[in-house]
Amino acid sequence: MFVIRTEHFVKLRDFSKHLTEHFYRNNEDFNTKLTKKEAEKILKRGLFFNGLNGEIEDGYFESSFEEGERWNKIYSDAYEWVKSKYEWLSS
- Give the count of domains, the chain: 1
pLDDT of residue 57: 81
H helix runs in the chain, sequence order? 12-25, 36-50, 65-85
pTM: 0.90
Q: Is residue 20 part of a domain?
A: yes
Alpha carbons 40 and 18: distance in angstroms, whole number: 10
Task: State the angle between helix axes of 65-85 and 36-50 in degrees (0 to 180), rounded to the nearest 10.
Answer: 120
Tell me the pLDDT tens digit for each residue of 17-74: 999 999 999 999 999 999 999 999 999 999 999 998 888 887 787 778 898 899 999 9
CB 17 within 8 A of CB 54: yes
pLDDT of residue 3: 80
pLDDT of residue 46: 95
Residues written for the chain: 91
pLDDT of residue 13: 95
Which domain covers residue 38, as residue numbers? 12-85
Q: Is residue 49 part of a domain?
A: yes
Q: Is residue 2 part of a domain?
A: no
